Chains A and B, each alone.
Chain A
């Protein structure tokens, strides 16, 4: 079975650029999450979809971060404009539903210079 697929694995952007990260969840999963991972903050929730509907957009991340789920098998995370403080690993994850295991992709390492 295919797991969660994220592309690209690495991204380097200049400050002010727009970048789009992509994610394909596990087929049949209802829940999709976007997290930002840093050494200091750990895993921070950016967005959460249930059956393609946006349930949470991450509060503090709303202004420059926008996640979309165009269909049940594809999601994007747009960061516009990027800032150096956005440098981190961005993880996409999916789950069959509440209380069930979350499966993570390998992540996209973003570096903003």
Chain B
């Protein structure tokens, strides 16, 4: 079945340093990949979504590139801000294999001054 793996449970870094959160997936078909962000006491909300034409999605300084060869969709940002501290989930939606949305276990990002 479909699955998403996020290897880091917690990432801590200093403001201004680059961010990279890992995401790999397994799917029989060609899924859509997503990043969702959840701030404290809020619901998860969409941050980024992969494009079918391989364009690189960007939002709020974050970007992610879908690499089908390595089944990865890592989240990156050139310079972390304090407000980026949150829980980040990678997810996939497989339109041909079952339609459900599967989430990874999440990575908590803590940015300190």
Contact = CB atoms under 8 A, between A and B. Distances in A.
B93 A43 contact: no
A21 to B, nearest CB: 15
B110 to A, nearest CB: 14
B99 A55 contact: yes
Contact of A55 (B34, B36, B42, B100): B100
B43 interface: yes
Interface in A84-113: 91, 93, 95, 98-107
A56 B103 contact: no
Nearest to B106: A42
Contacts of B36: 102
Nearest to B90: A42
B95 A98 contact: yes
A100 B32 CA distance: 9
Most buried by B among A4, A40, A55, A101: A101
A95 B34 CA distance: 13
A5 to B, nearest CB: 11
Interface residues of B, number: 24
A31 B99 contact: yes
Contacts of B89: 42-43
Given A33-B101, A45-B100, A101 B49 contact: yes
Interface string B73-113: 00000000000000001010111001111111110000000
Given A48-B100, A98-B99, 18 more contacts: A31-B101, A33-B100, A33-B101, A42-B103, A42-B105, A43-B89, A43-B106, A45-B101, A45-B102, A45-B103, A55-B99, A55-B100, A56-B98, A93-B101, A98-B93, A101-B49, A102-B36, A106-B43
Q: Identify the 9 closest CB pairs spanning chains A and B, nearest first.
A: A42-B105, A43-B103, A104-B43, A98-B95, A99-B32, A42-B106, A48-B100, A101-B46, A98-B99
